């Protein structure tokens, strides 16, 4: 019925049309949207700072996805990080979401 999600280990992702979207399932499991702004030095011009915006669903307060991305950046990207600013927002909580099925006929 459910298969393992390749991008989010441990999260069962439903087949098409069998339930809420994967993002909704993540939010119901406590994930929130994390947005990070990474400032990094240009590889050839170390005195120049550039920025990169990153977003993903992540779990506060440990932020495993964010730290995994920062480790990836440090291992694979030539531009060394200068600083990282981030914010986290839970868009919905288990008590604030309910599945309502309905149909409205207009004219």
- pLDDT tens readout for residues 17-58: 566 778 888 888 889 999 999 999 999 999 999 999 999 999
Total number of domains constituting the chain = 1
Q: Within a domain: residue 105? A: no
Q: Within a domain: residue 47? A: yes
> Is-contact 97 28, C-beta < 8 A?
yes
Q: Within a domain: residue 53? A: yes
Q: Within a domain: residue 45? A: yes
Q: Within a domain: residue 46? A: yes
Q: Is the pLDDT of residue 7 over 60?
A: no
Q: Within a domain: residue 3? A: no
Q: Within a domain: residue 97? A: no
For residue range 65-84, what is the model confidence (pLDDT) as tens digits?
999 999 999 999 999 999 99
**Tokens 């069962």 sit on residue:** 12
Rounded CA separation 100/107 (Å): 22
Give the pLDDT band of residue 4 (cuts 50, 70, 90): very low
Residue 74 CA: distances (Å) to CA of 13, 67, 78, 79 = 30, 10, 8, 8
Domain span including residue 81: 27-91
């Amino acid at each position: 019925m459910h298969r393992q999600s390749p991008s989010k280990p441990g999260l069962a992702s439903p087949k098409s049309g069998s339930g809420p979207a994967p993002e909704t399932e993540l939010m119901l499991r406590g994930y929130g949207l994390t947005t990070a702004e990474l400032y990094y030095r240009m590889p050839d011009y170390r005195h120049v700072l550039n920025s990169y915006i990153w977003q993903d669903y992540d779990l506060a307060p440990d932020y495993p996805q964010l730290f995994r991305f920062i480790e990836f950046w440090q291992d694979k990207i030539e531009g060394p990080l200068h600083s990282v600013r981030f914010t986290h927002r839970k868009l919905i909580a288990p008590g604030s979401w309910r599945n309502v099925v309905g149909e409205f006929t207009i004219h």
